[in-house]
Structure 1
Amino acid sequence: MHRSDRLAAEPGLISARPAAPWHATRLAGVPAVTLGLVVLAFALLWFGTLGVRHLLGPDEGRYAEIAREMLSTGDWVTIRYNGLKYFEKPPFHMWATAVSYALFGIGDWQARLCVALAGIAGLGISMLAAARWFGARAGLLAGLVLASAPMWNLAAHFNTLDMTLSGSMACVLACMLLAQHPHATAPARRRWMLACWAAMGVAVLTKGLVGLALPGLVLVVYTCVTRDLARWRRLHAPAGIALMLLVAMPWYWLVARRNPEFLRFFFIHEHWQRYTSTVHARKGGLWYFVPLLVGGFLPWLGLVPGMVRAVGQRTGVVAAGGSRPFQPALMAGLWAVSIFVFFSLSGSKLPGYILPLFPALAILAGAALARTGDQPWRRQLCAMLAVGAIGLLASPVVATLDSNNTPNALYRAYAAWVALAFALVITSAAIGLWLLRRHGRLASITAYAFGMLLAFSTALLGHEAIGRSASGIDMVAPIERVLRPGMPLYGVGMLDHTLPFYLRHPLTMVAQADELAFGAGQEPQKWLPTLDAFVDAWQHGPRAIALLSPQAFSELSARVPMHVVARDWRRVAVANFPLAGAR
């Protein structure tokens, strides 16, 4: 066994060396200075890449613009998107983003700061829970696994509600695990359980009842499996429920009071109908999430047998004086399985729905990895060498893709980034093999995890080859030269999710309300329901700018004068007045 591995196996988070200077302090057997440098490297890559890409539609642009309008109007209760009521989701994520704007200004990285922080919060609290139950080394390894799991780190750099929900759900799971440790004192158990309930309140305030339903489902399943009814008495439910309601309910009460139509739309349409039907046209078979789970946990799939053994062997269980001992590995396993099954049975499916199960997988992976030997780890590295080689050989296929939404030229530019990402996968696995021989398993795992984070971050950053033109950022400057405050900006038959944010100017929908249909129905005076109404406003109304598809431009420009301001392969921006300097 390598010296670093022997040190890491010692109990306690900090090695017992009272006379050692600060720079010789060890955390889980790792020198504090080394650990600090590793954390700094991960943090720089994690936060330093937030503003490299432009926002993509629909999700990134939508939530960035909702938060901008929230800050601009000062209305933090009634959520609006392009000036229309938007009650699909609760406000916590948008609140956090608006605060980010207020502190740091409006921009791409500020719009993604909430998800990046949620990802780090979920990672940190999962490390703490894993360290408490399975040892300090398992806690460090759980953090490395989660940081480098593609689905987790990519979602933490993509402005959607899924990561904000998943970060709060990770806190729910971890606080539950920390509270249920038999060596926790009564005051500590109460504090952790109250933190668990508060995190559930944040989850409910982020994405609705799912923040309460999923933890409740897991606890019921755990009780059925273990027949441990006594566990319910350790939940501090009366105080916890009161705290959860204190966190979540004020907004629900205020928004329902100001908007009587909210309750039915939010709870019936956005919860019951979304789950039980395909009303949102997000269909998928029972297998829908399987490839997402495999790809999202790809660098660590070799640990799955050890993770299953950790559950079966009741890893981490501590005798608890006559009562049924709590089984942390089983709780983490049931958390992952229950969430996976719950969303697989849903009539509405999107990739980010299963994101909350990844912290549980990371906790189990940390426990398994802390107990694995050099030979199984070497096999994992060799397997990723093969995966990287196959991906590198297949990357030219990306250059052959073409679609109505994305021209082939953009795919050709992106293919080079895909090849680079797979080359980094190969390099990371090769460095891991070298370090395994020279410096031991912990150094090998750390370098491998950082390499995986770098590889998948490269694939995401390279998507700017496609995302820049999709965002419309190159059209912003010419539009801003003619667009004035208060001037109508029409979206003719299309809801552009990114340009309103970059222009700091909401759209007025025309002919097709898209996902703003509910808001348009509530405030019909704020949109133009027909093309004839638009033509009349265009010809007889004030100066205005319109965004429309190339096909719609071809059709409408034959009916009314349209002066082209800017255009790309996705949209055309036109004015109803002659442009200065135009011929």
Structure 2
Amino acid sequence: MTLAWFVTLGTRALITPDEGRYASIALEMARSGDWVTPRLNGLLYFEKPPLQYWIGAIFFKLLGASEFAARLWPALSGLLTVLAVGFTGRRLWGPAAGLRALAVAASTTWIVANAHFLTLDAGLTLFLTLSMCALLLAEWGSGNAATRRSWIWAAWVAMALAVLSKGLVGIVIPGGTLLLVSLWRRDFGLWRRMHWLSGVVIFLAIAAPWFVLASLRNPDFAEFFFIHEHFARYLTQVHHREGAWWYYLPLLVGGLMPWTGALPWLWQRRTAKSPHARLTASDVLIAWALFVLVFFSASGSKLPSYILPMFPALALLIAHRLGTTRVAALRWHLALPVAAWLVVLVVSTRMASFATASTPSEVLAPMAWGMRIGALAFMVAGGLAWYWLGRNRTTAAVLALALGQLVGALSVLQAHNGFGQLKSAAPIAAVLRPLIAPDTPIFSVQSYDQTLPFYLGRSIVLVDYVDEFALGQRVEPDRSIPTIDAFLARWQALPQAAAYLGHDTWQILRDRGVPMRVVFEDARRVMVLRR
């Protein structure tokens, strides 16, 4: 499984926006040696904390700038999340439950997908999962008082690292879950056992120094990071990522595959009347998953990966319930993922119908083959799972199903590379690099590909483009060009230059008689040189 988990990381081009953005920041940090102030394309960038940039920069220094090094931390985060879930399941409910938890987590579609693309959410989910698992092991891991205290301290450490990964959500999710489960079960014992004084000291010792240093070096940091990037992002639609209240429900259904059919099993009616049975590990897991879902559903800014932290909790719950669910019900459970992969198989035969002017059919053909291979792999695994269930070997069936889903998902991800090339500057850089000198100015006019600085290994001058660069351009206005006319004046004066353009901008400049020679063009963008 470990080999399969990592084998595709370096075989796909980085795509815009997230992969290019976070790879470029880490690469710039590695080259500049400034570990306090993140920069994106040479401009100040304070939307997120630096932990993933630090780790990415270290990997670039050790392994060189590559797609593999860029994606290594999300992949490691996903694998460590899976191992944490398996370890916790084993400690709470025994070896069989631990193995099932490992298999369920390793094959949950949304965990696999987010571990194989470069975003911040896999790292955040790792540390949130560690904090959740540490709390579960402290309360229900059968340790003595010293062991319990150590697990609670580990939870505080993990929360601090979650904050350094993506901000205040690193404490909001654990804190919100604690409040929710306490109100729901009317049991506030967890609050009294959190070792608040020593825990807060540990938390601040890890999380606070960077925030203090960043504020001292950059006067605009605190207001932008805490107000604009947290409160405004959550409470308003300033980032234009709104969605309906049910936005995450289809993502939950699809992202939990092939275990979506287990959702009805997760809620079990209580029969015990003992006060000691009032609060269980399952209660915490249910509260965790519900809080994540509701919290992000209420947000004014929504992205698909935001709910990733709920899936490890669901994997633990599913693994626990699998041990008590009848074989007949488990066999019926196979129907939903088999039907889903059959749909994938049918869609793969109709991929040409999805072609557009900006997405030609030739880039969709490899995806169709990847979908077919994935569907075949899962069908074989589904047959094996049916066979093992018929012999009451639930764990063997779970392992077969998990392996089939993992192979199928990775096949589809690998086949995405043809389409991904349309959202990557890798082919542009390959053409442009031999044609320019190291000091040739490169402009990005009215558009921007986040992967371009990474693949060219240098910053690009933005022209009439703001988006997430507003703060950086306000603080350092000389690093960009505000208007097309100012750009043209500079372009005309240069002996050699290159420019990245969208088709509409290219057409406008061509009609104005701007001297330029096309060196790269595809369905979505154009790269030109000063004649």
Give the distance between the partners of 2:249 and 2:200, measured in 1 at CA. 34
Distance 1:384 1:295 in 2: 10
CA contact (8 A) 1:115 1:163 kept: yes
Q: Secondary structure at the match of 1:572?
A: strand
Kept after mapping to 2: 8 A contact 1:169/1:200:
yes
Q: How does 1:290-309 map to 2 (within 5 A)?
A: 290-309=249-268
Please give the alpha-carbon distance, in whole angstroms, between the structure 2 residues aligned to 1:230 and 1:173: 16
Deviation, structure 1 residue 235: 0.6
TM-score (norm 1): 0.87
Equivalent residue for 2:394, pick from 431, 441, 464: 441
**Residue deviations 1:79-111 (CA, integer Å, cap 9, x gap):** 100000011111111111111111111100110
Q: How does 1:509-528 map to 2 (within 5 A)?
A: 509-528=462-481
Matching of residue 165 in structure 1 with residue 165 in structure 2:
no
Shift of 1:58: 0.3
| Counterpart in the other structure of 2:421 | 468
Check whether the contact 1:494–1:514 (CA below 8 A) recurs between aligned residues.
Answer: no
Alpha carbons 1:508, 1:528 under 8 Å: kept: yes
Q: Following the alignment from structure 1 to structure 2, what is the Cα–Cα distance between the partners of residues 171 and 246?
A: 18
Residue in 1 that maps onto 2:518? 564
Structure 2 match to 1:275? 234
Deviation at 1:63, TM superposition (A): 0.4
Map of 1:256 onto structure 2: 215
By how many angstroms is 1:323 displaced? 6.2
Determine whether 1:103 maps to 2:62. Answer: yes
Paired residue for 2:350? 397
The 8 Å contact of residues 185 and 279 in structure 2, kept in 1 or not, is answered as no
Is contact 1:228–1:324 with CA below 8 Å preserved after alignment? no
User: Which of 436, 441, 451 is the matching residue for 1:498?
Assistant: 451
Q: Which of the numbers 238, 243, 253 marks the counterpart of 1:284?
A: 243
- Report the AA paired with residue 88 of structure 2: A
Offset at residue 400 of structure 1 (A): 0.8
Structure with higher Rg: it is: 1
The one-letter code sitting in structure 1 at the alignment partner of 2:15 is L
- Partner residue, 1:29: none
Contact 1:181 1:326 in 2 (8 A): no
Where does residue 321 of structure 2 map in the other structure?
Answer: 368
Matched, 1:75 2:75: no
2:144 maps to 1:185: yes
Q: Structure 1 stretch 477-486 or stretch 105-114: which is displaced more? A: 477-486
Q: Is the 8 A contact 2:378 2:408 kept in 1?
A: yes
The answer to whether the aligner puts 1:478 opposite 2:437 as a matched pair is no
Offset of residue 422 of structure 1: 2.2
1:207-356 → structure 2 map (5 Å cutoff): 207-309=166-268, 312-313=269-270, 326-356=279-309
Shift in Å, 1:180: 1.2
* 1:87 and 2:46 aligned: yes
Q: Which residue number corresponds to residue 508 of structure 2?
A: 555
Distance 1:406 1:165 in 2: 33
Instruction: Give, in angstroms, the shift of residue 59 of structure 1.
Output: 0.3
The TM-score with structure 2 as length reference comes to 0.96
* Aligned residues of 1:385 and 1:430 also touching (Cα < 8 A): no
Hey, what does 1:453 align to over in structure 2? Answer: 406
1:122 aligns with 2:81: yes
Q: Report the Cα distance in structure 1 between the residues aligned to 2:452 and 2:490, rounded to whole angstroms.
A: 22
Aligned: 1:196 with 2:196 = no
- Alpha-carbon shift at residue 375 of structure 1 (Å): 1.8
User: CA, structure 1 residues 380+257, in 2 after alignment: closer, same or farther (shift >3 Å)?
Assistant: same
5 Å-filtered alignment, 1:7-86, equals: 42-86=1-45
- Tell me, yes or no, if the aligned pair for 2:327 and 2:392 is still in contact at 8 Å: no
Q: How many residues align?
A: 530
**Distance verdict in 2 for CA 1:551–1:395, change over 3 Å:** same
**Residue type of the alignment partner of 1:400:** S
Secondary structure of residue in 1 paired with 2:359: coil
- CA deviation after TM superposition for structure 1 residue 439, in Å: 8.1
- 1:128-165 deviation digits (Å, cap 9, x = unpaired): 22222222211111111111010000100010001111
- 1:422 is aligned to 375
- C-alpha offsets along residues 164-188 of structure 1, whole Å, 9 cap, x if unaligned? 1111111010011011126221111
Runs of 5+ consecutive residues of structure 1 not aligned to the other structure: 1-41, 578-583
Helix, strand or coil at the partner of 1:87: coil
What amino acid is aligned across from residue 422 of structure 1 in structure 2? A
Percent of aligned positions that are identical: 39
Alignment partners' CA distance in 2, 1:386 and 1:281: 35
Using the TM superposition, give the Cα deviation of residue 386 of structure 1 relative to its aligned residue in structure 2, in angstroms: 3.1
Moved more, 137-146 or 540-549: 540-549
Q: Deviations over 1:389-432 (max 9, x none)?
A: 23322333332113454234323442232233223222221122
Give the deviation of 1:564 after TM superposition: 2.2
Supply the distance in 2 between the matched residues of 1:112 and 1:226 (Cα, whole angstroms): 41
1:384–1:426 contact (8 Å) kept in structure 2: no
Q: In the alignment, is the contact (CA less than 8 A) between 2:74 and 2:115 conserved in 1?
A: yes
Query: Structure 1 residues 262-271 or 413-422, which shifts more?
Result: 413-422
Deviation, 1:542, is 5.4
SS at match of 1:347: coil
**Where do 1:123-142 residues align within 5 Å?**
123-142=82-101
Q: Which runs of 5+ in 2 are unaligned?
A: none
Give the drift of 1:469.
Answer: 3.5
Q: Distance in 2 between matches of 1:112 and 1:286?
A: 32
Change in 2 beyond 3 A, CA 1:542/1:201: farther
Q: Give the C-alpha shift of residue 370 in structure 1.
A: 1.8
Match of residue 8 from structure 1: none
Distance 2:19 2:358 in 1: 17
Please report the RMSD computed on the Cα atoms of aligned residues, expressed in angstroms. 1.9
Which letter maps to 1:514?
D
- Secondary structure at 1:204's aligned position in 2? helix
Please give the secondary structure, in 2, of the residue aligned with 1:509.
strand
- For 1:576, give the aligned amino acid: R
